[in-house]
Structure 1
Amino acid sequence: MENNMNGQTAIVTGAAGGIGSAVVTKFIESGVNVVAVDLYQQALDVLIEEVGTSGGEIVPLAGDVTDPLLAIRAVELSRSKFGGLDILVNNAGMGSDMVPLWEIDLETWRRDIEVNLTSQFMMLKAVIPGMIEQGYGRIVNTASAAGMEGHALSSPYAAAKGGVIAMTKAVGKELATKGVLVNAIAPALIGSGMLDQPWFDEKTKKQLLERIPMGRVGEPTEVAEMITFLASPSLSFSTGAVFDLSGGRATY
């Protein structure tokens, strides 16, 4: 892909996870400097070792995306280390035990919304003013097929990801004439770290896999390819849109 991203700077949240690490790897290969944000410093250390130094540079930033100050620190770091910011990939997220809505406690609900939706709002709020000022920016928010369809037994997650989709559409319209394009991706089952969580049992995996016409899970590298395009100057006439990554499953 000829995307002319060399020398640009990106913030990627959830950078050490399956999708996040694939995105960081693709960005570095494309010559993009990356502020890699993740909850775990050890995971960031492994990421840096695995990605190497061929292409762009990685600067790690460990912290909880629900902390309002983390977004501000990420932007300040991108400016102090690389002189600016061109790209945001809002990728950090989490799942939780699969139970009916009426059995979910308020603390679990709030945590899911904070991690999967509010954290993206805080990152957007931190990066957008600078992008408006420079007249350029590319933002990619990670939503989910759950946010489009509403997964049973995953009400907090589905609600949060549905919120990401609605927020993306709204802010995409707000920035449509500013040179800052905001889009979302909606993956279905992806072979990333989330599949290894204890609440994601084999029965659930089998049921979800049966709904994918391609008959397989997606790969993090496939998601990274889509995100890289959406984060590049090659994208010029799409904003507030949701791009499907479901292997043909989508019915919306």
Structure 2
Amino acid sequence: MRETRTVVITGATSGIGRNMALYFADRGYRVIGTGRDAERIHTLQEELAVFPVPGQVFQVDVRRYQEIRELVSHVESEHGAVHVWINNAGVNRAIGPTWEIDPDAWADDLAINLGGTFHGIRAIVPVMLRQGFGRIINLIGGGTTHAMKFSNAYGTAKTAVARLTENLAEELDELGAQIKVFALNPGLNDSEMTRALRSTPEGQRYFPDMEEWLRNGAADPQDAPACAYKLAEGLADKYHGRILTIYDPITEEGSLEPDLYKLRLNG
């Protein structure tokens, strides 16, 4: 029987993050989740309490580095090693032509999607270096490897996260660190984010086909958690520093082309 592994998931109280939290808990992980909404935190806490290894959910704003740092200190003190860190928290609220976007909305999208990911990395990498191992999974999304008009802040932030992942991987490799980092595209999910695009005036105006896209191509809610779990379990360490999607054949066998699954991928 192996030791209990700990995974921290930011933005775990809804959507893809919640699905991941329950998926990992069901497979024996100790899940530490974060969120901002008190009611949702309470709900997820109750859901995680029924598993053999009960999880915990904390009110954390990923825009604030100190809050992330305090969470990391608490988890390290209470549970020792942090085996997996998933930077999942994200928003897509700055919708419309770039020149019409409210500057505060643009800044907030970048602060959560990109800044929050950096804060997670900044806080957890020193811990993983001390313990000698770990895996980091950064969620990317639409607009990373292709243009996605009217959602420029989100796409810009997620593209930056992909490059951040590549750069971080090379920095870790230079140290000889046994830490693996991945950029994961979870596909199109029927989540709170896409529901907002279907219900808000801006979303309905600039993404009128969202309902049809979801009807014809929505991912299974378990696809992203299952893919993240493979990465967490070390089944795809050869993809270290790479961009992956839920549709990629993630296996331990075979070899990779030098630029395959990187941001500079063509096609």
TM-score, normalising length: structure 2: 0.84
Alignment pair present for 1:90 and 2:87: yes
Percent of matched pairs sharing the same residue = 25
Residues 192-247 of structure 1: CA deviation (Å, up to 9, x unaligned): 1112212433723046458xxxx320133111000111112333322111112369
Q: Does 1:121 align with 2:114?
A: no
Unmatched segments (≥5 aa) in structure 1? none
Question: Which residue is equivalent to 1:196?
Answer: 195
In structure 2, list runs of 5 or more residues that go unmatched: 249-264
- Paired residue type of 1:204: D
Match of 1:231 in 2: 232
Change (3 A) 1:28 1:209: closer
Higher relative contact order (CA 8 A, sep 6+): 1
Q: 2-side partners of 1:174 and 1:56: how far apart? A: 34
Q: Distance in 1 between matches of 2:247 and 2:24?
A: 23
Inter-partner Cα distance in structure 2 for 1:233 and 1:246: 18
Mapped to 2, the partners of 1:25 and 1:227 lie a distance apart of 12
Q: Which residue of 1 aligns with 2:19?
A: 22
SS in 2 for 1:140: strand
- Specify whether residues 188 and 200 from structure 1 end up closer, same or farther in structure 2 by C-alpha distance, changes over 3 A only: farther
Q: 1:125 to 1:97 in 2, by over 3 A?
A: closer
**Partner amino acid, structure 1, of 2:155:** A
Quote how far apart the aligned CAs of 1:5 are. 7.4
Partner of residue 76 from structure 1, selected from 73, 85, 110: 73
For residues 92 and 247 of structure 2, the distance between their equivalents in structure 1, rounded to whole angstroms, comes to 18
Aligned to 2:155: 158
SS in 2 for 1:34: strand
DSSP 3-state at the match of 1:148:
coil
Task: Tell me the TM-score normalised to structure 1 length.
Answer: 0.89
CA shift digits 1:4-47 (9 cap, x unpaired): 97511111001011111111111111211121111112102111
The answer as to whether partners of 1:35 and 1:77 remain within 8 angstroms in 2 is: no
Superposed CA RMSD: 2.2
Q: CA deviation at 1:251?
A: 7.9
Name the residue aligned to 2:168: 171
- Give, in angstroms, the shift of residue 105 of structure 1: 2.5
Check the 8 A contact 1:6/1:30 in 2, yes or no: no
Task: Provide the rounded CA distance (Å) in 2 between the counterparts of 1:95 and 1:130.
Answer: 30
**2:95, 2:191 → 1: CA distance?**
18
The structure-2 alpha-carbon separation of the partners of 1:119 and 1:5, relative to structure 1 and needing over 3 Å to count, comes to farther
Among candidates 97, 102, 107, match of residue 105 of structure 1: 102
Could you list the per-position Cα deviations for residues 72-92 of structure 1 after superposition, in whole angstroms to 9, with x for gaps in the alignment? 022112112212211100000
Contact 1:144/1:188 (CA < 8 Å) preserved in 2? yes
How many equivalent pairs are there? 243
Distance in 1 (alpha carbons) for counterparts of 2:51 and 2:116: 30
